[in-house]
Amino acid sequence: MKIPIPDQIPPVDRLGRVHLIGIGGAGLSAIARLMSQQGVEVSGSDAIDSPVLEALRGEGITCFVGHAAEQLANVDTVIASTAVREDNPEIVEALRRGLRVWPRSAGLRSVMEGRRTVAVAGTHGKTTTTAMLTCALVAAGAEPSFAIGAEVAGLGTNARIGAGDVLVAEADESDGAFLVYEPEGALVTNVDADHLDVWGTEEAYARAFADFMRTIGRFVVLGVDDTGARGLIDVAEELGLQVVTTGLAEDAAIRATDVRVEQDGTTFSVLRDGRPLVDVTLAVPGAHYAQDALLALATGLVLGHDPEALADGLSTYAGAQRRMEHLGDAAGVRVYDSYAHHPTEIRADLAAARALAGDGRLVVAYQPHLVSRTRLFGAAMGRELSAADRVVVADLYLAREDPDPAVTSRLVVDAVDGPKATTGGPVKDLAEVLVTELRPGDLLLTLGAGDITTVGPRVLAALVGR
């Protein structure tokens, strides 16, 4: 459901009691925490119970399982996920009563009032880069507030109000939310066409990032290894923004050299304007993590922090939930889970997984996300999955879309090189399929933005039993 953005967004202390529909999601759970920590009475609902709801209850937030009109008693403001349908009984009741009904972007914008916001945008790598920047600023003594699109092990949460004046926020472009925030500064990881069910064309998607530049107050950090982000340099300079470029490219102002990817992490040296600045050691393997860390480091430098302290903070980042997350080992099989659902993300995660697998087989279980995305990128997804030794592709995760008989997992499977790919059917049956495929020494990576995340734990339990 598309909810209009209000003309006026008052700060959180003027919202009254707030109810969030879809509170179990990463975005709304972060907003709920930030509001609750500022003294707002917060409640929320979600379709199913989850560890997130249980954690929120432990923090004093009322969480309902299921949606019902009576759960809006005494509520003044309703914030809803984009996945919520118009016939949701809580939406119907809120509109009937004339309550303030907001999209999540307005809710996060209200939290930003009175803080120096740094927005982290881009098609890929937003969550990781937001988490890295937060870890770096914590180590530098900035005591930032933050809102991240996943739980981060080193931080113990996905959102917190800090004592400092900076708020680091993941800024999602999927529904245009990033155009609402008006941050002091921002960084852009990359611009790679996605969410075309919302934007329509690649050109419109790219224009949205140019429009994002016009909302920024002072500075922007751009990852210029990506042509889309590089294309924003002229726009940002014409707007009078301070522009800092980062990457592996020789013309990047903040550049990584001597990048080494090992099974236990990534190391690299940083040059600023061609001169040695600092060495960085990350606890996560992957060249793309070096690019994300550069963006975070450069942003910390613009904010005035010491490079050594920032590098120390980057070394504490040990991963985020569903971002190449190690779920466990059983029967000689290592199991990882990741959120990748776009061809570019699949390529990066499989490169990291290959480094982790070493001499073992890389087995990938993939769940395509959205009919519209699979229609456009299904063949490209399959080509990127070809880097694995064995691929099992589950049925599509529909999310907010209706099924299309012409768009199935076969679009992905048929594009994988060779006979190493097969369809896996419904996610609920996937663990059983995978257990018959796996053998000691394998690394299993489950990929996708839907409920594929439930498969890894079930595989581990079955392997223990075996």
Enumerate the CATH 3.90.190.20 domain ranges in the chain, comma separated. Answer: 325-465
Rounded-to-5 percentages of helix, strand, coil across the chain? 35, 25, 35
**Active-site residue, 126 included:** yes
The identity of residue 437, as a single letter, is: E
- Dist CA 326 CA 316 (whole Å): 16
Of the residues 77, 117, 127, 374, only one is catalytic, namely 127
- Dist CA 262 CA 432 (whole Å): 32
Query: Is the per-residue pLDDT at 12 higher than 90?
Result: yes
Name the average pLDDT for the chain: 92
| pLDDT for residue 102 | 96
CATH T-level assignment (fold) for domain 12-107: Rossmann fold (3.40.50)
Total residues belonging to the chain = 466
Residues 6+ apart with CB under 8 A from 107: 18, 20, 28, 31, 35, 79
CATH 3.20.20.100 fits 325-465, yes or no: no
Q: Which of 282, 285, 345 is nearest to 136 (CA)?
A: 282
Q: What is the pLDDT of residues 431-458, one digit of tens each?
A: 999 999 899 999 999 999 888 989 999 9
- Dist CA 212 CA 207 (whole Å): 9
| pLDDT for residue 341 | 82
**In terms of pLDDT, which residue wins out, 320 or 405?**
405
Q: What is the mean pLDDT of residues 162-190?
A: 92
- According to DSSP, the β-strands at 42-46 and 62-65 are parallel
Q: What is the mean pLDDT of residues 168-193?
A: 90
**Active-site residue, 2 included:** no
Structure confidence at residue 304 as a pLDDT band (50, 70, 90): very high
Q: Which of 85, 93, 80, 86 is nearest to 18 (CA)?
A: 80
Q: What is the pLDDT of residues 121-134, one digit of tens each?
A: 998 889 999 999 99
Query: Is the per-residue pLDDT at 466 higher than 70?
Result: no
- Dist CA 325 CA 128 (whole Å): 12
Diameter of the chain measured on Cα atoms: 63
Pick the CATH number of 114-315 from 3.40.50.1370, 3.30.565.10, 3.65.10.10, 3.40.1190.10: 3.40.1190.10
Q: What is the pLDDT of residues 351-388, one digit of tens each?
A: 888 888 888 999 999 999 888 888 888 899 999 999 99
Sign of torsion, CA 67 69 70 74? positive
Q: Which of 150, 152, 178, 122 is nearest to 292 (CA)?
A: 122
Question: Which tokens is 2 given?
Answer: 């598309």
Q: Which of 286, 462, 288, 444 is nearest to 366 (CA)?
A: 444
Query: Is the per-residue pLDDT at 197 higher than 70?
Result: no
Of the residues 82, 126, 173, 408, only one is catalytic, namely 126
Of the residues 90, 151, 170, 325, only one is catalytic, namely 170
User: Are the C-beta atoms of 394 and 413 separated by less than 8 Å?
Assistant: no
Enumerate the CATH 3.40.1190.10 domain ranges in the chain, comma separated. Answer: 114-315
User: Are the C-beta atoms of 366 and 452 separated by less than 8 Å?
Assistant: yes
Q: Angle at the Cα of 361 (from 355 to 364), degrees rounded to 5?
A: 85
Q: What is the pLDDT of residues 16-31, one digit of tens each?
A: 999 999 999 889 999 9
Query: Is the per-residue pLDDT at 321 higher than 70?
Result: no
Enumerate the CATH 3.40.50.720 domain ranges in the chain, comma separated. Answer: 12-107
**Distance, C-alpha 204 to centroid of its chain:** 22
**Active-site residue, 90 included:** no
- Dist CA 46 CA 9 (whole Å): 25
- For residue 234, the tally of other CB atoms under 10 A from its CB is 12
In the chain the first and final C-alpha atoms are separated, in Å, by 45
Structure confidence at residue 161 as a pLDDT band (50, 70, 90): very high
Percent of the chain with pLDDT over 90: 68
Report helix angle 287-302 to 126-139, nearest 10.
50
Report helix angle 287-302 to 343-357, nearest 10.
110
Q: What is the pLDDT of residues 66-120, one digit of tens each?
A: 999 999 999 999 999 888 889 999 999 999 999 999 999 999 999 999 999 999 9
